[in-house]
Amino acid sequence: MAKTIMVVDDSASLRQVVGIALKGAGYEVIEGRDGVDALAKCTGQKIHLVVCDVNMPNMDGITFVKQFKQLPLYKFTPVIMLTTESQESKKEEGKAAGAKAWVVKPFKPEVLLGAVAKLVLP
Amino acid sequence: MGRRPVNNFTGLDSKILAPFGLAGAGALGTMVAGWSAWGWYTVLWSALLLAAAAWCARASGAALGGSGEADMIDNYLAGRERFGDAVLPIWCRHIENSRTQMEEAVADLAGRFSSIVDKLDSAVHVSSMDGKGGSSMPEVFAHSEKQLGSVVRSMKSAMSSKQAMLAQIKDLERFTRELRDMAEGVASIAAQTNLLALNAAIEAARAGPAGRGFAVVAQEVRNLSSRSAETGRNISNRVGLISSAILAASQAAEQSSEAEDKSMQSAEGMIESVLGQFRSITDALVQSSDLLKQESIGIQGEVGEALVQLQFQDRVSQVMAHVRENMELLPALLRDNRDRYVADQVLEPLDPELLLHELKKTYAMAEEHAVHGGSKHSAPAAAEADEITFF
């Protein structure tokens, strides 16, 4: 059975691009437009990994990760931050929030897939 | 008022030219200083400042005939504020509209790429028949060849059995020849016995009454020899009939065997021919499938590159959003500048650092900071595997 990955990004084109890469590798993808939308979609289904942007309207990625990690079902679900931000201070915020990896956009599909394969839950 | 008059080098009133000169100089300075670093939005800023200069110059000129310098300045500042209120929202809406259109178009483009990749993947799977539960063309061919080979072997085995049967029938011919020889032997013995009995009868007649009994015996022997001769002929006839029947059967079997052998060779040839044609088609299909796979790999590589390029829309969109948000601050800045004048009666020059500082705070990308700092614009390369930070 295909593993499910949640992609959270306010850019529809980026969600598409990430979705193409992940679906091509056999993953199922659910999308969130921002932190609020993504949390609303965490309704108990198994999510094997989250790929999340940082700068988003309504709820930014760091806040989303903090709240996502508070949900008992997703406590151990790994999160990869996928963002244009490359400042070390931001990375530290992501790490403190509970993210497992930080990938800077633009990314090569194989690079993202490598990180996903390394972190995705069994 | 504490304002110093501005030098008028052209004979025009300094009250007209002062703000125009101030804003125009700012615009030109911005354009010269910022073009290499900020690109297109430097032009927008410069245009804004130039337009503001033109507006206020006209407003100042109109005010000259009014109620004095204070009114003129107030009119100028109010006009500048109105300019900001009127123009900035429209510029920002255009930028936002363009950004949204670009976002939607790139999302649609990415979706089409996704569709192309899916269809290509399906085509590759169908062409190579390596989908779930399917067999590849070479596998189908090998299986068919194996089955037909089995049929040919069965037919050859049946032919071999027939040859053995034919050999046995030929053996029967030999037996019938032996039987005929034996029947001829019986006939020969009967003839000799008959001759012997005839001699005995003659000798019995010569013996007179004493030989009468022996004559009866000799007659009986003659009778028996006649019956033996008759039986021998009968046997010989029957053996002849059987021999003819066996010979006919043997010839028919031989002809049948020859016909079957020819049919067998013909069938084998046809099977080889069909397999050969099938092999040609299969090889062509396999080559076509391999080519499609190679092309697919190439196209997927191209799509991968396209996916990297499509991400630049996100970066451009963010830069446009940051610039738009910064432009939206300008009317408030103009309003604040006017409020300060109204409160303190001091004309303060607009400080670009106020906006630039706010703009800088919105930057998310290293390239924004670099461009702001004066670096030539360059798109960043896609992140390599070793650039991922794992926590």
Whether residue A87 contacts residue A45, with contact meaning beta carbons closer than 8 Å, is answered with no
DSSP-assigned letter for residue A75:
T
pLDDT in tens, A8-55: 999 988 998 999 899 989 999 999 999 999 999 999 999 999 999 999
Write the residue in A13, A55, A86 that is nearest to B103 by C-beta.
Answer: A13
Chain A residues in contact with B388 by the CB 8 A cut-off are 101-103, 111, 114-115
Whether A106 has a pLDDT exceeding 90, the answer reads: no
Q: What is the mean pLDDT of chain B?
A: 79
Between these two residues, B114 and B262, which has the higher pLDDT value? Answer: B262
Q: What is the spatial distance between Cα B352 and Cα B341, in angstroms, rounded to a whole number? A: 18
The domain locations on chain B are: 14-128+311-379, 137-299
pLDDT in tens, B257-267: 888 888 888 88
Whether B70 has a pLDDT exceeding 50, the answer reads: yes
Given this model, what pLDDT does residue B67 score?
66
- The number of distinct structural domains making up chain A is 1
Give the minimum alpha-carbon distance from B332 to chain A in angstroms, rounded to a whole number: 23
Chain A residues in contact with B109 by the CB 8 A cut-off are 13
Cross-chain Cβ contact A13/B310 below 8 Å: yes
pLDDT in tens, A67-84: 999 999 999 999 999 998
Give mean pLDDT, residues B222-237: 88
Q: What is the spatial distance between Cα B13 and Cα A63, in angstroms, rounded to a whole number? A: 58
Interface test with A, best of B99, B124, B314 (most A CBs within 10 A): B314
Predicted confidence band of residue B359 (pLDDT cuts 50, 70, 90): very high
Element (H, E) at B235: helix B212-310
Secondary structure (DSSP) of B2-61? -PPPPP-SSSS-HHHHHHHHHHHHHHHHHHHHHHHHHTHHHHHHHHHHHHHHHHHHHHHH
Given this model, what pLDDT does residue B285 score?
85
Predicted confidence band of residue B99 (pLDDT cuts 50, 70, 90): confident
Given this model, what pLDDT does residue B48 score?
62
Q: What is the spatial distance between Cα A61 and Cα B74, in angstroms, rounded to a whole number? A: 47
Give mean pLDDT, residues B35-57: 54
Per cent of chain B over pLDDT 90 is: 6
| 3-state SS, residue A4 | strand
Given this model, what pLDDT does residue B9 score?
30
Taking alpha carbons only, the member of B24, B90, B15, B81 closest to residue B54 is B24
Q: Is A120 on the interface with B (CB under 8 A)?
A: no
pLDDT in tens, B165-198: 888 888 888 888 888 888 888 888 988 998 998 8
Between these two residues, B332 and B122, which has the higher pLDDT value? Answer: B332
Q: What is the CATH number of the domain that holds A80?
A: 3.40.50.2300
Report in angstroms the alpha-carbon separations of A74 from A107, A118, B159.
26, 18, 74
Whether residue B48 contacts residue B330, with contact meaning beta carbons closer than 8 Å, is answered with yes
Taking alpha carbons only, the member of A2, A1, A8, A3 closest to residue A99 is A8
The parent domain of residue A62 ranges over 4-119
Whether B241 has a pLDDT exceeding 50, the answer reads: yes
Q: In what order do the strands lie in the sheet with A28-32?
A: A28-32, A4-8, A49-52, A79-83, A101-104, B389-390
DSSP-assigned letter for residue B76:
H
- Does domain B137-299 correspond to CATH entry 1.10.287.950? yes
Q: What is the spatial distance between Cα B83 and Cα B81, in angstroms, rounded to a whole number? A: 5
Given this model, what pLDDT does residue B358 score?
92
